[in-house]
Structure 1
Amino acid sequence: MENKKKTIFNVVFLLVVFVGTIYGVFYGEDLGEIAQIIKTVNPLWLIPGVACVVVFIWGESIIIYYMMHTLGIRLKKRTCFLFSSVGFFFSCITPSASGGQPAQIYYMKKEKIPIPVSTLVLMIVTITYKLVLVVIGVALTIFGQGFIHAYLWNVRHVFYLGTALNVFCVTAMLILVFHPVLARDIMVKGLALIEKMHLMKPRRSRLEKLEASMDQYRATAVYLKEHVKVLIEVFGITVFQRVALFAATWFVYRAFGLSGTSAVVIVILQGTIAVAVDMLPLPGGMGISEQLFLRIFLPIFGSQLLLPGMILSRGLGYYTELFISAIFTIVANFTIGRREED
């Protein structure tokens, strides 16, 4: 019953944010003119943009396949692609992408993968996934002030906030992994304080769940210490994966026949949007991503092509990802774990 209520809440929340985004973006705009402009794009440039989205989803599946292999679990690559699709679909439709990993763990369990193993793999995926954003944010903050002044000055506060939140998140996760005793003490004391303030009722089961989660973090620490090379390779794949998705905007740029701004600049700018919105409690960064695009890419697309460019860029980077992952999530629902029933 609780899961059903949570699902209903997520669907309603997604629809509210979606409607609010549509209203905020298109209010007062000439939709007919926008449609005419979009019709002028060269569709051949959009094909590799779609391929970038597929590569993005495929990249995580390769990481899952590779890490499962190091743990002695043999899986087919297409099964890992389904796991990846499930994760991205539920991440796209839930606040702060909170539904992705629980859904993946559920489907992995149907394939007889132990929950501690799936949790370990997905935790490392999360750490490396966010670590890429931390590298982008910190590198630009320290070494890219000229770039920030040129392209991000009007949204610098949002960018710095996103960078800080990602640094905090990754740091907290690494503390949990490499200093589990310290992390346990902090969490136990924090839990006791919350209960003392009567914000939560004291429950023994809550402490038991905390102990279980600490076991998972300890297992992650052991794995990382014994497989440093694996972690480096996974980080490299993650960089390629994220750059592929960011590059979709460059193909949109070229589809309008535009030139003069390098692919590197556009990829970095799209990366800064990801840094800014990743930790915000919005499905797929919906709403804020569109607004940031309209501010950051104005000098690149120009006022006339800016909104059509944003529509196609977000159409590829979020809605195409949502559509593709939804299709393969349906496939996963009908194929994963079915062998045991045959």
Structure 2
Amino acid sequence: MADKKKMICNIVFLILVFTGTLYGVFHGEDLGEIVHILKTVNPLWLIPGVICVVVFIWGESIIIFYMMRTLGIKLKKWTCFLFSSVGFFFSCITPSATGGQPAQIYYMKKEKIPIPVSTLVLMIVTITYKLVLVVIGVTLTILGQSFIKAHLYQVRYVFYLGTALNVFCVSGMLVLVFHPMLARTILVKGLDLLEKMHLMKKKSSRLEKLNASMDQYRATAVYLREHVWVLVEVFAITVFQRFALFAATWFVYKAFGLSGSSAFVIIVLQGTISVAVDMLPLPGGMGISEQLFLRIFLPIFGSKLLLPGMLLSRGLGYYTELILSALLTIFANFTIGRNVEKG
């Protein structure tokens, strides 16, 4: 019952944010002119953009497939693709993408995959997924100040905040993984403080759950130490996966017949938007992503094509991903676990 209420709240929140985003983007704009401009794009350039979205979802499924194999669990690649789709769908509709992994664990459990195993795999997926953003953010902050001044000067503080939040998140996860006892001590003291301040009710079950979580982190630490090369390969796949999605914006750029800006600049700029919004409590970074695009890409698309360019870019990078993963999630709901049940 509680999960249903939470899902309803997430959907309502998504609708509110989506409505606010539409108003913020289209208020005062000539919709007729926007539609006219969109009709002039070359659709052939949008096909590889859609492929980029599929590759993005497919990339995580390959990681899940590969890591499950290293743990002795044999799955079909199509099943892993469905797991990946479920994760992206629930990440798209929940604040800070918090709903993705719980949903994936639920569907993996239907395939008789032990929760500690699925938790281990998905934790490593999350660490490498965010580590790519950390590398982009830190590299630009330290070595790319000229790039920031040329392309991100107006939004540099949002970019720095996103980088700092991602660094904090990844650092915290690595501390949990490699120093579980230190992490347990910090969390226990934090819970004790919240209980003393009467912000949380005292429950013994909460401490039991914490101990169980620490066991999972210890298992992750052991795996990381014993499978370093596996992690290197997973990180390489994740880099390819994330940059494939960023590349969709370049195909949008070409669909308008534009030239003058390199694929590298456009892909990196799209990556900086992900860095800035990834940790913000908004479904898919909705609202802030659109505003950052309109500021960052103005010199590249020009004032006339900026809004249509943003619509196509976000349409590919977020809404196509949302719709595709939603359809595959529906399919997963009727197929995952059925063969296990029959067996």
TM-score (normalised: structure 1): 1.00
1:289 aligns with 2:277: no
Secondary structure of 1:152's partner?
helix
1:102 aligns with 2:102: yes
Structure 1: which 5+ runs fail to align?
none
Tell me the amino acid that sits aligned with residue 227 of structure 1: H
Q: Percent identity?
A: 82
For the aligned residue pairs, the C-alpha RMSD in angstroms reads: 0.5
Return the offset for 1:341: 3.6
CA distance in 2, matches of 1:132, 1:211: 30
Aligned residues: 342
Q: Is the 8 A contact 2:112 2:340 kept in 1?
A: no
Q: How does 1:279-318 map to 2 (within 5 A)?
A: 279-318=279-318
CA distance in 2, matches of 1:61, 1:3: 26
Return the offset for 1:4: 1.3
CA distance in 2, matches of 1:341, 1:206: 32
Return the offset for 1:340: 3.4
Secondary structure of 1:35's partner?
helix
Structure 2: which 5+ runs fail to align?
none
CA distance in 2, matches of 1:292, 1:237: 27
TM-score (normalised: structure 2): 0.99
Q: Which residue is 2:114 aligned to?
A: 114
Return the offset for 1:339: 1.5
Q: Which residue is 2:36 aligned to?
A: 36
Q: Which residue is 2:80 aligned to?
A: 80
C-alpha deviations, 1:56-105, integer Å up to 9, x for none? 00000000000000000000000000000000000000011000000000
Q: Is the 8 A contact 2:14 2:93 kept in 1?
A: yes
1:160 aligns with 2:167: no
1:174 aligns with 2:177: no
CA distance in 2, matches of 1:341, 1:293: 47
Tell me the amino acid that sits aligned with residue 126 of structure 1: T
CA distance in 2, matches of 1:70, 1:260: 45
Q: Which residue is 1:276 aligned to?
A: 276
CA distance in 2, matches of 1:11, 1:321: 17
CA distance in 1, matches of 2:341, 2:112: 13
Tell me the amino acid that sits aligned with residue 306 of structure 1: L
CA distance in 2, matches of 1:73, 1:175: 27
Secondary structure of 1:74's partner?
coil
Secondary structure of 1:200's partner?
coil
C-alpha deviations, 1:87-143, integer Å up to 9, x for none? 000000001100000000000000000000000000000000000000000000000
CA distance in 2, matches of 1:337, 1:181: 36
Q: Once superposed, which parts of structure 1, at least 4 consecutive aligned residues long, lie more than 3 Å away?
A: none
Q: Which residue is 2:17 aligned to?
A: 17
Q: Which residue is 2:253 aligned to?
A: 253
Tell me the amino acid that sits aligned with residue 74 of structure 1: K
CA distance in 2, matches of 1:181, 1:11: 37
1:339 aligns with 2:339: yes
C-alpha deviations, 1:220-246, integer Å up to 9, x for none? 000000000000000000000000000
Q: How does 1:192-231 map to 2 (within 5 A)?
A: 192-231=192-231
Q: Which residue is 2:319 aligned to?
A: 319
Q: Which residue is 2:61 aligned to?
A: 61
1:147 aligns with 2:147: yes
CA distance in 2, matches of 1:264, 1:242: 14
